[in-house]
């Protein structure tokens, strides 16, 4: 990657970070959403069995990602987009968005996991493995929804369109995440686990490549 592209990406990430710091209510709003959702689950279910615990964790992660990533492009006006177009390319812009949302979802994934362990119990046999899988899952969800948010930003009702496009695409990935995380609840890692984990990484790489290739066409529109 050329040096000037790296500088553009870092500058755009810094811009998003500064906006997030200035508008702290959005970040704390997402945290409140995470905490209240998990607390309601605790009040209604107590400490569920491990399979239910696993499924609930990833469903919560899905909705947290929708709320966290949806605003990536909703906050960018047409005037801002034209300004970014003049100082950076489409590839640098989409990569910076992916990096920022990736970091945001990593934080939310770890916060969600901590609250799950505190309120819903700890059915995990391998905590470190599940921490790694939850981070990988947060990255996967953030990449997919950043790409979808970029597409939906060109249409009216962006948030609704992103949800409509996103759920049919994300359901297979969500099911894969649930299967990949099952060994964290067992004493022995099941056969074929590495293949599923590598498939998840390959899907992430495919989303990144598609974003870098297709977003410039949306940018020019």
Q: Is 179 exposed, middle or buried (0-12, 13-18, 19+ CB in 10 A)?
A: middle
**Tell me: the pLDDT tens digits for 86-112?**
677 778 888 888 888 898 899 999 999
Domains held by the chain: number: 1
**Tell me: the pLDDT tens digits for 5-47?**
777 778 878 877 887 777 777 778 888 888 999 999 999 888 8
Length of the chain: 221
Q: Global pTM?
A: 0.86
Could you tell me if 12 and 92 are in contact, meaning their C-beta atoms sit under 8 angstroms apart? yes
**Tell me: the pLDDT tens digits for 56-90?**
999 999 888 888 776 666 666 666 666 666 677 77
Distance CA 78, CA 189 (A): 50
Q: Any idea of the CA torsion for 38, 137, 147, 67, to the nearest 10 degrees?
A: 10
Structure tokens at 145: 């929804």
Distance CA 55, CA 61 (A): 10
Domain boundaries, position 163: 3-220
Does 220 have pLDDT greater than 70?
no
């Amino acid at each position: 990657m050329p040096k000037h592209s790296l500088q553009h990406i870092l500058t755009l990430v810094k811009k998003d970070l500064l906006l997030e710091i200035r508008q702290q209510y959005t970040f704390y709003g997402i945290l409140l959403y995470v905490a209240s959702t998990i607390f309601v689950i605790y009040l209604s279910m107590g400490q569920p069995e491990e399979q239910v615990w696993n499924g609930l964790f990833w469903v919560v992660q899905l909705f947290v990602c929708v709320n966290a990533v949806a605003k990536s492009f909703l906050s960018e006006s047409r005037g801002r987009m034209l300004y970014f177009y003049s100082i950076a390319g489409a590839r640098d812009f989409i990569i910076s968005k992916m990096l920022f949302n990736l970091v945001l979802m990593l934080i939310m994934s770890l916060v969600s996991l901590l609250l799950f362990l505190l309120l819903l119990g700890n059915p995990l046999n391998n905590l470190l493995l599940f921490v790694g899988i939850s981070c990988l899952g947060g990255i996967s969800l953030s990449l997919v929804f950043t790409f979808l948010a970029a597409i939906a930003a060109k249409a009216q009702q962006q948030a609704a369109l992103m949800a409509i496009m996103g759920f049919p695409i994300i359901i297979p990935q969500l099911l894969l995440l649930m299967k990949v995380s099952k060994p964290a609840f067992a004493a022995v890692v099941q056969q074929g686990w590495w293949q599923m984990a590598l498939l998840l990484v390959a899907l992430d790489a495919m989303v990144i490549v598609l974003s870098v290739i297709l977003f410039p066409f949306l940018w020019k529109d």
